[in-house]
Amino acid sequence: MTTTYPFEAESPSEDLTTVGTPAVRIDGIDKISGAAQFVDDIDFGPGLLYAAVVESPHAYARILSIDTTEAEAADGVVRIATGKDFPYKFGMYMEDRYIFAQDYVRFVGEQVAAVIARSHREAVRAAKLVKVEYEVLAPLLDPKAAVADGADLIHPELGNYTHVPWFFPEADTNIAHWRKIRKGDTEKAFSEADFVLEDTYHVPRYAHCAIEPHVTVSRLDHAGRLTVWTASQSPHTQRHLFAEALAPLGFTHKDVRVITPYVGGGFGGKAGVSMEIIGAAMATLVKGRPIKLRWTREQEFYNTYQRQGVVAELKVGVMNDGTITAVEHKLYWDAGAYVEYGANVVNAAGLSATGPYRVPNITNDSLCVYTNLPPGGPYRGFGYSEFHFGLESHMDRIAEAIGMDAVEFRKKNAIVEGDELAYGAHMNPSGMLEAIEKTADAINWGVEEQSDNPNTVIGKGMALFWKAPAMPPNASSASFLKFNEDGSINITVSGMELGQGYLTVMAQIASEVLAVPVDKIRVETPDTDRNPYEWQTVASHVTWSSGLAVEKAAVEARSKIFDVIHQVYGFEDDSLYLEDEAVKCKTDPTFSKPLSDFVIEGIQTDDGTWRGGPIIASGKFMPEFTNANSDPATGQGGHPNVHYTVGATGVVLEVDKQTGRIWVRKAALAVDAGRAINPDLVKGQITGGLVQGLATVLFEDMRFDEGGKMMNPTFTDYKIPTAFDIPDEIIPIIVEVPQPDGPFGARGVGEHTMIAAAPVIGNAVYNALGVRITSMPITQEKVAMSYLAKITFESNQEE
């Protein structure tokens, strides 16, 4: 059984000239010449004001009073904003957050007030003079403690919060959402299974660490127009949330304009709305003056979305022939103080926590738990990176326990097209088996390798991954396309160029349909006044969704072009085709009309009159087969995900038995891109995502003290990879099993490449040393201590 897709994209199998080629990025020259403009690079003239935020030093406290008298008198101060100015809630999927804290602060770093001053230095200085009196409360920092009976309620009003219909908050608890999946009979399956393995895995919080910090400039002009320049993945969603939150002040969507130039890395951290709403609100207090708010690196760590921590209790049952019969996965998410976005991470994980396997009996519980840590939110992988660590570690352990090769075990159970998913819909076409085989080959799976160094051991590991875009069922994309006099094209879309190569891919899709070379197509970053709607650049969905919108616009432009030719020359539309920037005719090989002759001016007919005119077109895409309605108790009945992208990761590593140091010698990653519109860019996602994922397992880790304060909010103490910290060799492998409704068969790959990085290291360390580490990160210290414990235990046994 397969999904019926209402829209059939251009055939993936036809001869292609641009799609599938490693075109040079259209934004490449901007970036290597210094021309690329990011928000902080825009000049706003001498009127620019600066803001600094007053932050809570406590993880949980009641605000007793705020005294701004001294700060107001400080040099350069223009205005101070507090929660009293903006008693308005906002939120992406659940409205649980205020622009500034109202009566309570719920994490260290939460904004209590903000100072607007004539210089950055004066703003920072005055912010320190704002006096806030608190009644300090005991924070809840652990999700298991927060769900325990009698735990304090972090949001006593939870039962009254507005949220999307697919969330199920438990009023009078700290559980903001509980995604349940019940399929088959897990209890019976476990009792009948030949082998059952149960364990708990721990994954801490992580930071995105885009090199560009969040920055926003906002200005309310004297005509009442609010313009916000932001480093954002989500210009239209930001406009929508600003307009909604500030509606009590009289703003409508047409009064709010969001402009998003190049973004210096997102990874989910710049999705939705976070600090930008502070800027948007403050602008309403100082008419006519732009206000800049830029997060410091420290704020970037503790007051933007963080990847949520999770405690994963996993139980899997199998038969002796290797068939998985049941999965029970209970995920306790440390979702932080506000879950307006993060609750959907929890939801996505709950729907898919079986991993890419065919499982007849499923019990998934994914609990979104409020804690007094910074708000959790989207991070590349969106919940999947987190639960794959335990799941894919578990699969290796089960294979070993029943005496099966870990790769054979995975191949036997890998989900394939038509298999039933946890929520009852069916799996899309997938190249999983090919991905497994190619990855295993690339690392010579099954061949033991010996180290020349007596102190080190070589280990190999494999892990699979899958992920579906997590979106509202009606998330949509749109595009406008226009020709210029010389036959060049401008396309406007509202997806964001985050570095993944989105603009280039959109140009390649239009190029393929219209036979205009990529270097004659300009695609630029959005301005919500001018560019058509896009939900957000998240979920690895824009190549697919926005790509379809661009493809449809290009197809519409093509049909308008053929229509003009038909009117003037009489050729039937179906005899016409585009090649080398010209219209040609199958029935008259001598006919060739360059696009530049007529796409603006039209074509003059024999009687001296003209036909045609400027060729303009639009396209939109919304998946019309999805729905998020399901039974809250079982998760059955809906079709929440559009499709899954799958793949496999393998590593060969060398580990020092005494020091625990790990060197990744070789890493291979195969991902089913459906169709790689630009193989160079897909390889870029593989290399970049893999290294980002490896860092989460090898050395990154957010640490909090007992008061809930992050202890390592700098690149000195929260280490991300340098040019030295990468595998000796990375082998990117592209698998192409077309997605039936993808543009030329394409589906997204951006997030997927980091998902299996953590378990693959865990599995390879086990393969090398025989120690299984069930908490991330797998640091040098943990490896050395675990191995020492193992050999000490073994030598004691011998005695």
Partner 1 sequence: MDLNITVNGEPWALDVAPADVLLDVLREQAAVKSPKIGCERGDCGSCTIIMDSRTVRSCLVLAIEADGHEITTVEGLSFDGLSQLQNLFLANNSFQCGFCAPGIVLAATELLERTPNPSRHDVQEALAGNLCRCTGYEPIIEAVLAAGDGGAS
**Which residues contribute to the site for partner 1 (CB under 8 A)?**
22, 24-25, 27-38, 40-41, 208-213, 262-267, 294, 296-297, 498-501, 680-681, 683-684, 687-692, 714-716, 720-724, 726, 730
CB of 250 to partner 1, least distance (A): 35
CB of 732 to partner 1, least distance (A): 9
CB of 470 to partner 1, least distance (A): 22
Q: Provide the 3-class DSSP secondary structure of residue 405.
A: coil
Nearer to partner 1, 304 or 692 (CB): 692
Is 484 exposed, middle or buried (CB count within 10 Å of its CB: 0-12, 13-18, 19+)?
middle
Nearer to partner 1, 4 or 716 (CB): 716
Nearer to partner 1, 120 or 253 (CB): 120
CB of 209 to partner 1, least distance (A): 5
Alpha-helical segments (H) within 626-737:
679-698
Query: How many whole angstroms separate alpha carbon 201 and alpha carbon 390?
Result: 5
Q: What is the CA radius of gyration of the chain?
A: 28
Query: How many whole angstroms separate alpha carbon 761 and alpha carbon 722?
Result: 19
Nearer to partner 1, 41 or 572 (CB): 41
Nearer to partner 1, 30 or 405 (CB): 30
Q: What is the largest CA-CA distance in the chain?
A: 107
C-alpha dist (Å) from residue 206 to 253, 352, 377, 603, 716: 34, 21, 11, 59, 15
Cβ atoms 258, 561 nearer than 8 A: no
Could you tell me the sign of the dihedral formed by the alpha carbons of 192, 197, 200, 203, in that order?
Answer: negative
**DSSP state, 550?**
H
Nearer to partner 1, 227 or 500 (CB): 500
Long-range Cβ contacts of 147-153 (<8 Å, 24+ apart)? 147/173, 147/174, 147/175, 147/332, 147/367, 147/369
CB of 667 to partner 1, least distance (A): 10
CB of 35 to partner 1, least distance (A): 8
Could you tell me the sign of the dihedral formed by the alpha carbons of 503, 509, 515, 517, in that order?
Answer: positive
Query: How many whole angstroms separate alpha carbon 373 and alpha carbon 708?
Result: 6
Cβ atoms 338, 169 nearer than 8 A: no
Nearer to partner 1, 117 or 343 (CB): 117
CB of 55 to partner 1, least distance (A): 17
Nearer to partner 1, 40 or 194 (CB): 40
CB of 694 to partner 1, least distance (A): 9
Nearer to partner 1, 48 or 603 (CB): 48
Please report, for the chain, how many H helices and E strands are present, in that order.
17, 30
- Hey, how many other C-beta atoms are within 10 angstroms of the C-beta on 124? 16
Alpha-helical segments (H) within 154-234:
186-192
Nearer to partner 1, 243 or 653 (CB): 653
Query: How many whole angstroms separate alpha carbon 203 and alpha carbon 186?
Result: 25
CB of 794 to partner 1, least distance (A): 38
CB of 688 to partner 1, least distance (A): 5
